[in-house]
């Protein structure tokens, strides 16, 4: 009963928040106001709070722009966890655009949709990401290209990392900062999740979303750690494969540290 009531409160709160912010966000997107970057951040802060997710931050996101974040990926909740730390936009596979509810939310988040299997479209897609970087938007690439079980980091894909260099073509900047980010889910109701319990938060592609979403929200108190690593300065002569490899190694180290129990106070 309590769990079902909690689900109802979460759904109602997010519905009301969405209806209030939706018209303003649509206008902000149409007129390209900077407010369009802030409103999704506000929505994610509400979502994080009502869902009972406590976010702990290690390190600091770089203030300098352009900024490209390369992160690991475990679940739909990564969007809320990372999106509640600072205003940013995501890069997602094109199928997400057609998903019920989530597709609309992704559009309002000003997501850049890409077709990972369409090799011939890579140049056009990196240019689209580069354009957003040059406009001052912080862009997030889930570089594994899929979701993991939360216990490890899968190999990073390198194709879209080239967007960092593409941003330099139409910019006066000499370099773009690429910063590795590790998201880890560590506790549920104060109890360490452990290797066997971490799938509570992870959402691999073969798991049905509806039941997983309900199970996650019924917990009521999930601790997540977002760790920011040392940024890499990418110039026109940088090797994107080396950049991706270095970020992957950094994310793997930070994930392991977070899962080992390095606790930090949650952000406000």
- Structure confidence by residue, pLDDT tens digits, 135-162: 999 999 999 999 998 899 999 999 999 9
Give me the sign of the Cα torsion angle 121, 124, 128, 133. positive
CA distances from 30 to 20, 44, 140 (A): 17, 21, 22
The mean of the pLDDT values for the chain is 90
- The two tokens of residue 103 are 């597709």
- Return all residues near 96 (Cβ < 8 A) that are at least 6 apart: 102, 103, 106, 111, 113
- The two tokens of residue 265 are 């106070």
Helices (H), the chain: 2-30, 35-51, 77-83, 102-108, 122-134, 163-166, 194-197, 209-219, 240-259
pTM: 0.92
Is the confidence at residue 38, as pLDDT, over 90? yes
What are the φ/ψ torsions at residue 173 (nearest 5 degrees)?
Answer: -75, 150
- Structure confidence by residue, pLDDT tens digits, 237-259: 999 999 999 999 999 999 999 99
- When pLDDT is cut at 50, 70 and 90, the band that residue 202 belongs to is confident
Bridge-based pairing state of the strands 139-142 and 89-93: parallel
- When pLDDT is cut at 50, 70 and 90, the band that residue 4 belongs to is confident
User: Average of pLDDT values for 112-137?
Assistant: 86
- The two tokens of residue 143 are 């570089």
- When pLDDT is cut at 50, 70 and 90, the band that residue 268 belongs to is very low
Is the confidence at residue 236, as pLDDT, over 70? yes
- When pLDDT is cut at 50, 70 and 90, the band that residue 1 belongs to is low
Note the pLDDT of residue 2. Answer: 62
Higher pLDDT, 264 or 9: 9
Question: Helices 35-51 and 2-30 meet at what angle, rounded to 10?
Answer: 180
């Amino acid at each position: 009963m309590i769990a079902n009531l909690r689900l109802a409160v979460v759904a109602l709160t997010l519905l009301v928040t969405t209806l209030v912010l939706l018209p303003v966000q649509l206008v902000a997107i149409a007129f390209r106001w900077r407010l369009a970057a802030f409103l999704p951040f506000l929505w994610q802060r509400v979502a994080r709070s009502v869902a009972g997710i406590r976010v702990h931050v290690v390190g600091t996101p770089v203030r300098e722009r352009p900024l490209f974040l390369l992160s690991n990926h475990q679940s739909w909740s990564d969007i809320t966890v990372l999106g509640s730390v600072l205003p940013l936009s995501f890069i997602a596979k094109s199928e997400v655009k057609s998903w019920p509810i989530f597709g609309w939310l992704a559009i309002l988040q000003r997501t850049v949709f890409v077709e990972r299997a369409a090799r011939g479209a890579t140049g056009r897609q990196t240019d689209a990401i580069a354009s957003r970087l040059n406009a001052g938007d912080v862009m997030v690439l889930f570089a594994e290209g899929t979701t993991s079980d939360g216990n490890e980091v899968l190999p990073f894909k390198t194709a879209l990392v080239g967007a960092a260099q593409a941003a330099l073509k139409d910019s006066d900047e000499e370099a773009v900062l690429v910063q590795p980010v590790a998201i880890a889910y560590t506790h549920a109701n104060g109890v360490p999740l452990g290797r066997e319990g971490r799938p509570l938060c992870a959402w691999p592609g073969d798991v049905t979303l509806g039941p997983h979403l309900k199970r996650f929200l019924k917990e009521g108190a999930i601790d997540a750690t977002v760790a920011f690593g040392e940024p890499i300065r990418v110039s026109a002569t940088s090797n994107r494969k080396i950049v991706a490899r270095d970020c992957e190694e950094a994310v793997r180290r930070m994930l392991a540290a977070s899962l080992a129990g390095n606790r930090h106070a949650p952000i406000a």
